[in-house]
Amino acid sequence: MKSMLRNLAVLGALVAAPALAQDIRLAGIFDGDGAAKFQTVIDAFQAANPGMTVTMENTAGSGAAMYPDMLRTAMASGDPADAFFMWGGTVAGPFIKAGQVMPLNDVYKQYSWSERFPKWIIDRLGVDGKTYGVPFHGQGMGLFYRKDIFEANGLTVPTTYAEMENVCTVLQAAGIHCATTGGKFGWHVMRLVDWFIETSCGPDVHDGLNALTESWDQPCVVASYQKLADRIAKGRLVPDFLNVSPDDARFAIYQGKAAMILEGPWFEPAITDAGVDPSVYSFFLPPTDHAPDRYSAFPEQWMIAAGSKNPAAAAKFLDYITNAETIKAHPDAFGASATIGITPDCAKLPITCQIVDITQSDRPAYPPTDQAFEKELMDTFFEVQDGIVAGKLTPADCAALMQKQAAAWKAKQG
């Protein structure tokens, strides 16, 4: 608490503070290519701010399965990064509850950040009237698909779930898997399960399941797990994916062995980086057969650690990297930026532009489950999901076990 009060005072005095030599440590999940692109932004910041240095510490590839634990370990040791990348929702919740991150309301006023970002993203980063994160991306997810494969098989983009099933049937007859996914870490398969829940249960029940106000042990949840089980049994997903990483799962669509993959805007530059022709890819939101027809979306943010040694410098760096002029000068480093008015080069990233148009609209979205559940309950979700993938649990078993663990988790919360 003392360190947080000290750091709040430092932040409040930022405008009047003299220039000092300061090292800023930044933790993130950039892969090698992403880190190289972001380093150009760091270099520009350092050139514009003599005496300030930024060191990037990356944990690539694990997603929300491992990265938060690494952050917690650093915070428990008393030596956290000054600022760190984080998703929204309950992935960030434990850090807020533990007092390990700083509320940034005063800094928002200082830098006029409330005018810089969409309201829905800022709202997702707040708790009890306090805002704890600085928006980085607004990420919408859907199905990237191979246009050439669709065209060769006389297929069009499905607008209903039944049409989607027909697409998979036609592809299967042609010896092509409907989609590819990676089971390692859990969150890639989770995206499919989330879509199945939204489709089978509808928006209101889906929201209730996330809030634990609805029972998981009900027919629509069983039906959702059955959809996953059926896709595995029928060979509509590339087989033996339980221990395949999400990055490695992409090879099946690159090679034309699968026609679709559920990803976000980060996948478009990955296509080019893999040396694959991007012109054969397009994108659509998977149909849910419900009104509103929602899609999966989430914010990504930067947070400042309560134990930061240089919170004022960290805030200055976050202001720099979310400034429109900085993003325009380094477009390859930012992708689907959360800063209002910023879009990528649509000639280079047409699909990302399509996704940004959606995320900056008022179309409703549902959060990925790993932003709705805290880690302990999310681990159960992954365990149950893996039971279906491994053939060890029936859909009914999964629904019952999920409800049992959800009830036990709620009881522990008091």
What domains does the chain contain, in order, with CATH numbers? 2-138+298-359 (3.40.190.10), 140-296+368-413 (3.40.190.10)
Residue pointed to by tokens 């893999």: 274
**Distances 203 to 123, 148, 212, 366 between C-alpha atoms, Å:** 20, 33, 14, 8
Residue pointed to by tokens 């805007």: 265
Query: Beta strand pairing status for 134-146 and 177-179?
Result: unpaired
Query: Beta strand pairing status for 134-146 and 281-284?
Result: antiparallel
Q: What is the pLDDT along the chain (414 residues), one digit of tens a residue?
A: 444 544 544 454 444 444 456 999 999 998 888 899 999 999 999 999 999 999 999 887 656 667 888 899 999 999 999 999 998 888 898 899 999 999 999 999 999 999 999 888 898 899 999 999 999 998 999 999 999 999 999 999 999 999 999 999 999 999 999 999 999 999 999 999 999 999 999 999 999 999 999 999 999 999 999 999 999 999 999 999 999 999 999 999 999 999 999 999 999 999 999 999 999 999 999 999 999 999 999 999 999 999 999 999 999 999 999 999 999 999 888 877 889 888 888 998 999 999 998 888 878 899 999 989 988 899 999 999 999 999 999 999 999 999 999 999 999 987
Write down the pLDDT at residue 408. 96
Q: For residue range 260-280, what is the model confidence (pLDDT) as tens digits?
A: 999 999 999 999 999 999 999
How many C-beta atoms lie closer than 10 Å to residue 81's C-beta? Answer: 24
- Tell me the Ramachandran region of residue 129: left when phi exceeds 0, alpha when psi lies from -120 to 50, beta otherwise: left
- Tell me the Ramachandran region of residue 391: left when phi exceeds 0, alpha when psi lies from -120 to 50, beta otherwise: left
CA–centroid distance for 202 within its chain: 22
- pTM, two decimals, is 0.80
d(CA 250, CA 267): 9
Burial per residue of 323-336, b for 16 or more beta-carbon CB atoms within 10 angstroms, e otherwise = eeebbeebbbbbbb
Write down the pLDDT at residue 66. 79
Element (H, E) at 142: strand 134-146
User: DSSP code of 220?
Assistant: H
Helix axes 375-389, 395-413, angle to 10 degrees: 170
